[in-house]
Structures are given as C-alpha cells and as structure tokens.
Structure 1
Amino acid sequence: MTVTADTNQHYDLDPDIFGQFLDPLRKYSSALYTSDTDTLEQAQRTKLRFVADRLGLRGGERLLDVGCGWGSLILFMAEEFGCDTLGISPAPRQHEYIAEQAAARGVAERVHTRVGHFEQLDLPHRSVDAVTLLGSIVHMPDLGEVFRRARAVLRRGGTLYVSESCFRNASARTAFDSRGGTEFVREDIFGWGDLRPLSDLVTAAEDAGFSIIAVDDLTDHYRRTIDDWIANVYASADRIDAHGPGLAAKLRHYLEIANAGWGYTTKHYALTCRNAR
C-alpha cells in the first residue's frame, strides 16, 4: 500500500482555522493534564515537557520530528532546550507557518523543516539524538519501514517517542475499521489513515531493533483534550465557518467521533524506544 496523496487535505487547511480551536502553540495531539483546573495551553506545555523527559533531553540535542504539524514540538524544544530541530511534513502551509514562528521567536537557526514523506526522504544515518512521531504514524502505511528508518537516523543510545491512537485490540480493529465513522474520518478528513492495535506498533519497533523502555496510557488525557477542542470549535464556529460554510460542524463531527470510542474501541498510547545497539 502507498500513501494516497502528496499532502493531507486536513492538515493543509488555513492555519487560522487551527488557531481557533487549538491552544496557542497549535499542538494537534493529546495534552497531559495534572489537575482539574489545567487549561488546554497548560496541559499541552506539560505534555511537551513529558516528551522531553521521556527522550532524556538535557539541552542542545539534535531532534527529528516526523509529522511536525504546526511546529509546536520543534519550536518548544528549540526554545526551552536549545535543541537543533528538524520537522518533516508533506503539508506546505505548515512549513510556511513554522518558519514565521521560528523567526518571530528568535530560534530560526535551530528550527528547520523539510517538505515530504519520512519514508521517501534521504536523511543522514546516525545524525540525531531523538526522533518523535506524535499522532503521525497513523498516516504511514508501512510500519516496519518507519521504525527501520527511525532507527537508522538515530545515534546509538538515541531515543524514539511515538504517541498514537490505537484500536483497543485486533478484534476491535476488525469490527470497527470499516464502520461509517471510521470511513468518514479516513475519506473526508485525513485522506488516508490506519489505526492499529498497540501490539502492531510494539512488534514493528522490536523487529526494527529497538528496545521498549516505556509504555504510557494517555487515553483519558486525549478525551479531555478533545473535549476542550470541541468547546473551542463551538465558541469560534462563526470564525471557522468564514473559511467555508459548514466547516465548524464538520470539524465537530470528526472530533465527536474521535471521542466516542475511547476505552471502548480505541486507546491512546505513548511508546518510548531506545536504540540500544
């Protein structure tokens, strides 16, 4: 199976649309809440520090973010940890936005991006200390190739962090992969996406030569994250619809589908792996 589009119609929408319902960092993946009073922005910053901790960042590392979205992770790691970062995404609008933000924050020399698909780009072997994939591996058809390439670019002792929504198990995938809600997300939102059970990710990581050093269940945090996004879509519906009639309702429908299955058909995990040899 091959990637069905050069870019992803959802992620190449006008950046302003995402600014209406995401946090100010425009981080489009699960946050991490530490109290009932955490705001979405606080929880997203906590999540980025959690990722840095899982990666063992101390400052100045070389970091590759695959599926970098609107740059929240690479901008944060460049600002907070002085990392030399590279983000990969097939969506041109995301790169334009990241370049503007990096310049505005004074970290342009530490924030770089490349347009394209990770599986197709030529990247130097053993060139980075850490690799991250936050909610991006779902769009990559060949798990084995992704994990092999991630290991190839990591130095010995480097760390890979993958967070992804997964079917709860293989039987749930069989039962729900062709349901209407799943098809709506795949065809009308993403263009291509394939949720797998966690066991598929673990097997692919181990087969590529990684050692698994941590698995974190972030399901409840993603449910709360999406609740916050849905509230923001309701509050900003008129501004979102200015980009296209009915866009806010379509976006709410997608987010509500995503939140309906947590713990029943779907889970959200963070998998941390070490390139130990």
Structure 2
Amino acid sequence: MSAPPISGRPGTADTNDHYDLDPEIFGLFLDPLRKYSSGLYEGPGDTLETAQRRKLRFVADRLGVRTGSRVLDAGCGWGSLILFFAKEFGCATTGISPAGRQHEYIAARAADLGVAGQVSSVVGHFEKAQLPEGGFDGVTMLGSIVHMPDLSGVLAKARRLLRKDGRLYVSESCFRNAAAHERFDRRDGTQFVRDSIFGWGDMRPLSELVRGVEDAGFSVIAVDDLTAHYHRTIEDWIKGVHAHADRIDALRDGMSARLVRYLEVANAGWGYTTKHYALTCRKGR
C-alpha cells in the first residue's frame, strides 16, 4: 500500500512558537503518542495513554475507516492520528501542519513503526495546501479548526477533498453559546491563551460549527459531548507537567509554569463558559 502522493520538506510555514517547540517538551507531559487533544475515558483507572488510544479508535469508528482508507488530518500535530491509523488500520494517511519540527518527528516515527510508505505530511496550512479533490475517504480536524479564520472556506474545501459518502470529523472546544463568546472572548485568560499559546485562535459556539458544516453541504450524522473527557485529559497533562517540570524547564526556561497557566485557564470554564464537542459529517452527494 502506498501513501497519497503528497509530501512536504521539513521546514516551517507561518506558525507560532508553541507548536514549534522542542518535541521533547511535549513528550514529557503528553501520552507516548503525543496526542494533543481530548482523550476518551471509561473508568477511574484509565491512564492517559489508554484514553488517547481509545479516542483514536473512536474517531476511526466515526469515520468508518478500513484497510486502504485514505485519511487526511488537518492540523496533525506530532502525527498521533496518522501514525495510529496507518499502523492499526492499514490506512494511507496524510497530515498537514505549519510546524516544521512536527514533520521531522512524524517522518522518524513512521520509519520506526514500519509505516513510512503509508504516511506522508505537508508543511503548511490547510487553507493553502494543494490536495487532490475527491481524494480522501475521511478528513479530520482535532482541535485545529479553532486556528482557521475562514470557517466557510475551510469546510467547503474539506467537502471538495472527500469522495462521495466520505466523512468529516471535527472536534473542537467551543464557547457554550453566543453570549458566553461575547462576554469572555476578551478576558485576560482567553487572551493569554490566544496570544501566548495559539498564535491565533477563536473558539466558536457549537451552533456556528453546525451551521458551517450544513452550509458547506454536509449532513451531520453525530454530535458527541466530550467536555468531561477533555477536563480529565487536561488534569492528566497538568500532572505530567508538574512531574517533569525540571526537565521541561531545562529545555525551555520557565516553560513549565507557562504550560500550567495555559492548562489551568483551559480547564477553568468547562460546562460554564466552554464545552468540547465532536461533529461527524457525511458528504452525501
């Protein structure tokens, strides 16, 4: 099986400092897959790694992937989904990210896992990337659409990239409603996360995402509330930062405190100002 005929040289498109940090920093507080989005927990004894592997299987189920499925992950991070789908399901996968260090890491891990022929990546932004229309069975955006200002353009492009009956999976943190968006968008904590961590990011209410996918021509086939799971995921990340603070700060001075502040701000508003949802959508025609 061969991967989609797309590749990107390690480099850096316009990105922000956070996502182009030394990958070893993230290896010290994330799970071994370095998945930087919500896990899926079933019981009190679940580890972060167990929850993240379960979440990836959940995404695969929502997409209906099988051997040979071609999957595009927009905002692929350190490649957790594209590497997992290639290894566990025999998919041909492509990831997109503007952070050059992430691509170097993905290429090395794909070689280690024996899936280099199934995994490729593109350095750049989803909105600008040259990709084959109708070339994918599934498109995923796990916590990445928040960084994309042109919602309608992004969703229209995702639909063009999918074959008929292909599926789009979007999971994203959202303001609980439009009033919460208006009230809290300019608070100090929100601006710290956006300016110091995200580079650019705008959490939209779920209603905007649903309207966006519907206007793009998708049918919504599932909406999952993952708020409690993300809260617990971040709690586990904070524990990881505290446990490895000295090593994190040796790689970037003061980084552990900055991470803790970011994660505590992110965890403060769940259910009150913010929620975390997953939308699964189908391209019906």
- Scaled by the length of structure 2, what TM-score is found? 0.95
**Deviation of the 1:38 alpha carbon:** 0.3
- Distance, in Å, in 1 between the alignment partners of 2:267 and 2:47 is 19
Q: Is the 8 A contact 2:36 2:77 kept in 1?
A: yes
Note the residue ranges of structure 2 that are not aligned, 5 or more in a row: 1-12
**Deviation of the 1:233 alpha carbon:** 0.3
Does residue 133 of the first structure (1) align with residue 177 of the second (2)?
Answer: no
Specify the alignment match of 1:211 in structure 2.
219
Please provide the CA RMSD for this pair.
0.7
Specify the alignment match of 1:123 in structure 2.
131
Structure 1 segment 190-229 matched on structure 2, within 5 A: 190-229=198-237
- The one of 172, 180, 183 aligned to 1:175: 183
Specify the alignment match of 2:5 in structure 1.
none
Tell me the SS of whatever aligns to 2:171.
Answer: strand
Does residue 77 of the first structure (1) align with residue 85 of the second (2)?
Answer: yes
- Distance, in Å, in 2 between the alignment partners of 1:147 and 1:7 is 21
- The one of 242, 265, 270 aligned to 1:262: 270
Specify the alignment match of 1:111 in structure 2.
119
Deviation readout 1:50-95 (Å, 9 max, x if unpaired): 0000001122100000000000000000000000000000000000
Specify the alignment match of 2:70 in structure 1.
62
Deviation readout 1:243-266 (Å, 9 max, x if unpaired): 222110000000000000100000
- 1:239 maps to a residue whose letter is R
- The one of 209, 231, 238 aligned to 1:230: 238
Deviation readout 1:172-200 (Å, 9 max, x if unpaired): 00000000000000111111000000010
Q: After the TM superposition, which parts of structure 1 deviate over 3 Å for at least 4 consecutive aligned residues?
A: none
Tell me the SS of whatever aligns to 2:211.
Answer: helix
Specify the alignment match of 2:4 in structure 1.
none
- 2:35 maps to a residue whose letter is K
Deviation readout 1:99-148 (Å, 9 max, x if unpaired): 00000000000000000011011211100000000000000001001100
Identity in percent: 70
- Distance, in Å, in 1 between the alignment partners of 2:223 and 2:246 is 40
Specify the alignment match of 1:147 in structure 2.
155
- Distance, in Å, in 2 between the alignment partners of 1:220 and 1:84 is 32
- Scaled by the length of structure 1, what TM-score is found? 0.98
Structure 1 segment 29-44 matched on structure 2, within 5 A: 29-44=37-52
Specify the alignment match of 2:251 in structure 1.
243
- Distance, in Å, in 1 between the alignment partners of 2:242 and 2:100 is 28
Specify the alignment match of 1:20 in structure 2.
28
Specify the alignment match of 2:9 in structure 1.
none
Tell me the SS of whatever aligns to 2:18.
Answer: coil
Q: How many residues are aligned here?
A: 273
Does residue 6 of the first structure (1) align with residue 17 of the second (2)?
Answer: no
Tell me the SS of whatever aligns to 1:11.
Answer: helix
